[in-house]
Structure 1
Amino acid sequence: MTSRETQSPSALSVDPPDRDHRTETHGETTRSSRRLAITLGVIVTCQLMVSVDSNVVNIALPQIQSGLNMSAQALAWVFSAYSLAYGGLLLLGGRASDILGRRRMFVWGLSLVVAASILGGIAPNQGLLIAARALQGVGFAFAGPAALSLIAATFAEGPHRTRALSVFSMVTGFGITLGLILGGVLTTLSWRLVFFINVPIGIVTIVLAQLYLVETQRHPAKFDVLGAIVSTLGMVGIVYGLTRASTAGWGDSVAWAAFVAGVVLVAVFVFIERHAAQPIMPLRLLSKRVRAGAYLSFVLLMVSMGGTYILLSLYVQNALGFSSWQAGLAFLPMAVVQFFAARRAVKLIARFGRKPVLITGVILMGLEAIWLTTTTESSNYLTGIVGPFILLGAGLSLAFVTLNMTVLGGLEPRDMGAASGLLQAAQQVGLSLGVAILTTISQSSRHGHAGRDALSHGLSTAVIAAVVACALALVVSIFVIKTASSGQGGSGQSHEPVGGEE
């Protein structure tokens, strides 16, 4: 007799083995889904901290200056120290996660952020505060690429990774708005709170990371020390040159010297990587036109988004008279649209494929910039700002989700961290370049205008550069990021080649 036949009739009728198996399988699936959800929550919390941090501190700069009696030059370094450390070390941070382990770099990076935030919160003088900002940049430069590569390592290619990346992109946009709101609220109490806010969030994230994140396979390699040094100096030169140009103008000799030196060092870095046995940035990441095009599109879209975002932040406060927290609330329409567009991106990609969704996102961002070119002295928030915010939120979500998928798709496990670091470095360079170009155009175009008219004319003129950046990104998306076919309807699968394929 079989094992089933030896069981009592009552046992068979009350709780059949098939039902036991189905119940057990369902329970395991539920637990697995819950664990993956928590894992994703832990990962994107790191990205939320990155997005919030810059804006929350920038809003508090006037209070920091008065609180520590800082000069304008010293105050500028509160921003620059973070940008230089973060932008300069992203390539190294990405490669370190491949070699040393992504969870380890995630935890180590966030631990440094927490320690630096405590230092910044209690800093009695400007020297310690600037040092704290630099350490925050270092921490995020290691934790950020680890977070993005953890998504690629945890979620298999297909609908699951698409959903994870859509949440990642959604949190990025929401964090920017949240940073503005938190900055305005917290600084009314004390500027030191903008640093302390990282501490409890960081500690909880670190604890959950130890419990829920699974360490990825390490890919032992000898660190490319020369490449790490040259890449860091090159990125620092480029970011510093662009950051200085955004305040001192493109006529500043120091800005040009730093920028040119950075570009030369990056060229030297590429030469080093071509001959390194174990490069910090494997050039094979750029050997396929699909992935190389995605990186270039990221730079161009960040030029458009970064510069436009800064100008809009200044416009709603200086031209429309919004307070800092009102300015944060003014960005809510963009965050809400970005939230729903990111969720919708999953189904759109499954139905139409990545390329049509990417092109749609780029076009929406271009239309947003074109709309802003019509800004005049009589423009108000409802007629001149809300519409562009909606277009920008939708365009960002659609474009960034698809570009993230393209960059991270088809990668060998050993390259996920390096690819993530390069992606975030490209975003940082694009952001710095956009701010430098658009703010310079805005300031120079104000001559002959006064008051609100000067601000409106500066915005409408500067965003022409954003239109050009989006147009170039559209050309790259159409002619460089080539795909084979669209997705398989509702299956969530795609016949398209990913970044590593043609």
Structure 2
Amino acid sequence: MAESNVKTNNRWVLFLASIASFMVALDTLVVSTSLSRIRLDLGASIEGLEWTVNAYSLCFAVFLLTAAALGDRFGRRRLFAAGIGVFTVASAACALSESLGWLIAFRAVQGIGAALIMPLSVALLSAAFPPERRAKVLGVFSGVTGLAVLAGPVVGGAVAEGLAWQWIFWLNVPIGLLIILPVWSRIGESFGTNTALDIRGLLLATGGALGLVWGLIRSNSAGWNSLEVLSTLAVGILLTILFVNWELGTREPMLPMRLFRSRAFLIGNAANFLLNTSLVSALFFLAQYLQIALGYGPLDAGLRMLPWTATLFFVAPVAGNLVNRIGERPLIVFGLLLQSLGMMWIGLIADPGTAYVKFIAPLIVAGFGVSMVQPTSMSAVVGSVAPSEVGKASGAFNMLRQLGGVFGIAIIATVFTANGNYSSAQSFNAGFAPAISISSALSMAGALVAIGLPRRRKVPINHEREKA
């Protein structure tokens, strides 16, 4: 009977962690195809649209490690459930927002809830499954998340076009309400090392990230040589240096710098960061490109992104299974090269007169690449640390993933505004083509970095544990 309970609990952990991740990923993707409607309805500038996305991603990123530490100390299940509650309430508040300022504020609260959900979902999975099954489980987890990637742009487009953009946030409420009670009743509690909270580290990390992101975003309107941009970038760099110095010296760091001595941890996170600078920035502009330059509505734009997004649902589980056979390095390197090739291809053919059918092949190529890298980079990072530090490793992985998206949007938005604007389809295309080419270059840089990943050691399968 005990063995049956273990199996049931493990299945519930995988199911509930995947659904919670699905909810967070769905929210990110439904927003992408709704940006044009939000811009028109609330009179948002490109800077306002950036903050609509980046307020969420920034809070998501900087609270991830604190969330992981809270989960390790007070219980991963408890904080995981709290994150679902915060995310659900904040989603309702976003739907009720009547101005861009309030929408951005509640998107930030959503990011805090997401910060509790994502690293703790991976930590709960890692605690529930043995190492020899972990890569496969993470592949399934990524595949379910991929379903949100598949459905997100279509659902967001359908809702924005058929109802109103506010309903993209109402979608999260029933999902959150349905899963929060089973989390308490079906998942056992687990803990990590009982460490003190690193408040100074949190403040330094938050201030450093905010200074860098603020400077990058404001450079579009204030100018690179303005006092505001130069001072905020300088403060961001200084606080980031102070954060690293503090983490090296404190007894209870939120991000132990010794983890970066592992080549797999360091390079896996670097590849993950560069993938997401490319992926999220491309997503930010591609959905708008389909609507503004090619003239499609939100629903049609979402449907036409399926060749790119649908691949994650099918390829990620396969990539997870392949890890134990060939290791992470070839999958990550080849995947980043495919993403780079797809984005470069789109940049070369982008024109308001280009038929959509010509975009299908590069979208599929890029989609295969992303789908190979996401589960394998996570496996490389999580597999490089001791079980007691999985929570912190997961927090670092997700923090750098979110910061990658923030920096990616800020960087290619700067390229976009230097070359184009929203005034016409041709003007938008003039900015989009060079911007998406930068997205390609970022992914190529990730592929070059990933070549340095060490070969993966095969994990011996414990058949008795497998039976349990």
Rounded Cα–Cα distance in structure 1 between residues aligned with 2:266 and 2:215: 24
Q: Paired residue for 2:135, among 154, 162, 171?
A: 162
- Offset of residue 101 of structure 1: 1.8
Query: Structure 1 residues 243, 450: closer, same or farther in 2, change over 3 A?
Result: closer
CA displacement, residues 29-84 of structure 1 (integer Å, 9 cap, x when unaligned): 6x6545433321210222222222234345445655776x6665777654443233
Paired residues, number: 459
What is aligned with 2:16? 42
Q: Which amino acid aligns with 2:92?
A: I
Q: 2:434 aligns with which of 452, 461, 472?
A: 461
**Cα deviation 1:228-286 (Å, max 9, x = unaligned):** 22122222223333344467665665344333322221110111111111111111221
> Mean Cα displacement is larger for which, 302-311 or 389-398?
302-311
Residues 1:433 and 1:350: Cα distance change in structure 2 (over 3 Å): same
Q: 1:192 Cα shift?
A: 3.2
Residue pairs, 1:80-91, within 5 angstroms: 80-91=54-65
Unaligned runs of 5+ in 2: 463-468
Superposed CA offset, 1:365-407 (max 9, x none) = 1221232232143422211x21121112211121121110110
Q: 307, 313, 319: which one pairs with 1:339?
A: 313
**Following the alignment from structure 1 to structure 2, what is the Cα–Cα distance between the partners of residues 482 and 272?**
29
Question: Which moves more between the two structures, 461-470 or 221-230?
Answer: 461-470
Any stretches of 5+ residues in structure 1 without a counterpart?
A: 1-23, 494-502
- Name the residue aligned to 2:454: 482
Q: 1:468 to 1:56 in 2, by over 3 A?
A: closer
Residue 237 of structure 1 is matched in structure 2 by 211
Which structure has the greater CA radius of gyration? 1
| In 2: Cα distance, 1:301 partner to 1:66 partner | 30
Q: In the alignment, what sits opposite 1:178?
A: 151
TM-score normalised per structure 1: 0.82
For residues 337 and 422 of structure 1, the distance between their equivalents in structure 2, rounded to whole angstroms, comes to 26
TM-score of the pair, normalised by structure 2? 0.88
Once residues 328 and 50 of structure 2 are traced to their aligned partners in structure 1, the CA distance between those partners, rounded to angstroms, is 40
Which residue in 2 is equivalent to 1:389? Answer: 363
CA change 1:405–1:289 in 2 (3 A) is same
For 1:223 and 1:461, the matched residues in 2 are separated by: 43
In structure 2, distance between residues paired with 1:131 and 1:245: 21
The CA deviation at 1:125 is 5.9
Alpha-carbon distance in 1 for matches of 2:206, 2:43: 28
| Contact kept? 2:204, 2:240, Cα under 8 Å | yes
**Structure 1 residues 33, 192: CA separation in 2 closer, same or farther (over 3 Å shift)?**
same
The 2-side partners of 1:54 and 1:229 are apart by: 25
Q: How does 1:116-195 map to 2 (within 5 A)?
A: 116-123=90-97, 128-158=102-132, 160-187=133-160, 188-195=162-169
The question of whether the paired residues in 1 share the 8 Å contact of 2:149 and 2:312 is answered with: no
Counterpart-to-counterpart distance in 2, 1:191 and 1:446: 26
- Alpha-carbon distance in structure 2 between the residues aligned to 1:113 and 1:375: 39
Question: AA paired with 1:405?
Answer: S
Structure possessing the higher relative contact order (Cα contacts under 8 Å, 6 or more residues apart): 2
Offset, 1:350: 3.3
What pairs with 1:352-501 in structure 2 (closer than 5 Å)? 352-377=326-351, 378-383=353-358, 385-446=359-420, 452-478=425-451, 480-483=452-455
User: Residues 44 and 100 of structure 2 are in contact (CA less than 8 Å); yes or no, is this contact kept in structure 1?
Assistant: no
CA distance in 2, matches of 1:130, 1:437: 20
